[in-house]
Amino acid sequence: MKTRVAVVYGGRSGEHEISLRSAESVIAALDKDRYEVKRYLIGKDGRWNPGPILPEPGAHPEIDVVFPVLHGTFGEDGTMQGLFELADLPYVGANVLASAVSMDKDVMKRICRDAGLPVVECLVLNREEMDAEAVARQLPFPLFVKPANLGSSVGISKAHDMSELTAALKTAAEFDRKVIVERGIEGREFECAVLGNEDPAASVPCEILPSREFYDYEDKYLLNQARIDLPANLTPEETAEMRRLAVACYLAVGCEGMGRVDFLRETSTGKFYINEINTIPGFTSISMFPKMWEYTGIPYSQLIDRLIELALERHAQKTVTRFTR
């Protein structure tokens, strides 16, 4: 019998359109001889088509495993994972806690710091307490201003002076109640993919060479002018260190299934900084998560197979766990 895969995509997020593109790539890569695809499209208004997955065990005997291809809010932040847990359905990717932790850049940084991992200095502000002058007194320009819970560089700005900082805080606050302001790192940008449950492995990393001042939404998805170096132009020792840090970050936040860890390398010091971890990285035709694994030896279709296997393995382990006395 074919494995029945529910692909959930779209969603109430600023990354809705990217999710649509990722989902089509995943569906196209699923072996039609092995899998039967069931589509669940969530509109920008939160409505499900053809209908919602219900938070009730046994309510969906037609689903063997869920493959969420949801980026950002209400999909990558633990909310959707909570629904799948309530429905007692196997699902691809991180669990509720790891999803929520990884989505929140503030909490992710705290956990990485506690684990002794390198993260950039930052300040965290609430929407009601946006004080640009206070920020400028504590961190030097240039600064990066980001919504704490979002991806694909939506709502992110680079501020070089007070005027730009004020505008950047306002923009970021439109996308989240919590805003994070980071010291701007002058250097290079890298990505490294991680795969696995208890014993994860990291791929060969790549370097992102933006066509703009930083790798923003337009550069990622619209302009098609950014350059990617795969493998990244690093020494063997630097490559090994980045892969080590990627796995360490993945384990620190409790990630499972998959993740993409983004790095900055400061030119003046040569130091690597963990920028963020994405628990549902992009799966479009140009996305680096599958490209890095393909270079490392796992083609796209096999990567999809492995992610489904990891989801089913984790769920099988969960079935032997006691939840009552």
Residue 152 has pLDDT above 70, yes or no: no
15 is catalytic: yes
- Whether residue 228 sits in one domain with residue 105: yes
State pLDDT tens for residues 202-214.
Answer: 999 999 998 766 5
143 lies in some domain: yes
How many independent structural domains does the chain possess? 3
Question: pLDDT per residue over 270-321, tens digit each?
Answer: 999 999 999 999 998 789 999 999 999 999 999 999 999 999 999 999 888 8
> What pLDDT does 224 receive?
64
Asked which of 183, 206, 229 is the last residue of a domain, the reply is 183
- 299 and 192 within one domain: yes
51 and 151 assigned to the same domain: no
Q: Both 234 and 223 in a single domain?
A: yes
Q: Which pLDDT score is estimated for 220?
A: 55
Mean pLDDT on 61-70 = 98
pTM score, whole prediction:
0.91
Cβ partners under 8 Å of residue 309, min gap 6: none
Q: Which domain CATH number covers 44?
A: 3.40.50.20
Instruction: Let me know if residue 321 belongs to a domain.
Output: no
Name the pairing type of β-strands 48-49 and 35-42.
Answer: antiparallel
The kind and range of the H/E element at 53 are none
117, exposed or middle or buried, with CB in 10 Å at 0-12, 13-18, 19+?
Answer: middle
Of the residues 10, 11, 14, 15, which is catalytic?
15
Contact 178, 149 (CB under 8 A): yes
Q: Judge whether 276 counts as a catalytic residue.
A: yes
Examine the domain organization and report whether 195 and 299 are in the same domain: yes
- What pLDDT shows up at residue 196? 98
Residue 218 has a pLDDT of 56
Same domain assignment for residues 26 and 69: yes
Averaged pLDDT, 94-122: 97
Q: Over 60: is that where the pLDDT of 223 sits?
A: no
Identify the pLDDT of residue 216: 55
What is the reported pLDDT for 313?
97
| 13 vs 140, residue with greater confidence | 140
In a domain, 171, yes or no: yes
Residues 148 and 274 in one domain: no
Say which of 182, 256, 276, 305 is annotated catalytic: 276
Average pLDDT over the chain, rounded to whole? Answer: 93
- Given the residues 13, 19, 102, 152, the one annotated as active site: 152
27 and 76 belong to one structural domain: yes
Task: Supply the pLDDT for residue 141.
Answer: 95
Are 4 and 29 in contact, with CB atoms under 8 Å apart? no
Q: Name the H helices within 202-325.
A: 217-221, 236-252, 288-296, 300-318
Give the pLDDT confidence score for residue 211 in this predicted structure: 72
pLDDT of amino acid 221: 53
Asked whether residue 13 is assigned to any structural domain, the reply reads yes
Mean pLDDT of all residues in 232-246: 98
Query: Would you say residue 189 has pLDDT above 90?
Result: yes
Is 306 an active-site residue?
no
Q: Is residue 316 part of a domain?
A: no
Pair (284, 160) in one structural domain? no
Any catalytic annotation for residue 265? no
If asked whether residues 176 and 192 sit together in one domain, one would say no
Set 9, 40, 221, 250: catalytic member: 221
Task: Mark whether 152 is an active-site residue.
Answer: yes
Shared domain check, 190 and 166: no
In the prediction, which pLDDT does 151 show? 62
Tokens at 218, concatenated = 């337009």
Which structural domain, as residue segments, surrounds residue 44?
Answer: 3-93
Count Cβ atoms within 10 A of the Cβ of residue 114 and give its class: 0-12 exposed, 13-18 middle, 19 or more buried.
exposed
Q: Where are the beta strands (DSSP E) in 46-198?
A: 48-49, 65-69, 122-126, 143-147, 157-159, 178-183, 187-196
With respect to residue 312, please indicate whether it lies within any of the assigned structural domains.
no
The whole-number pLDDT of residue 149 equals 83
User: For 11-53, how does the pLDDT look when each residue is reduced to its tens digit (9 = 90+)?
Assistant: 998 889 999 999 999 999 999 999 999 999 999 999 999 999 9
Domain shared by 233 and 193, yes or no: yes
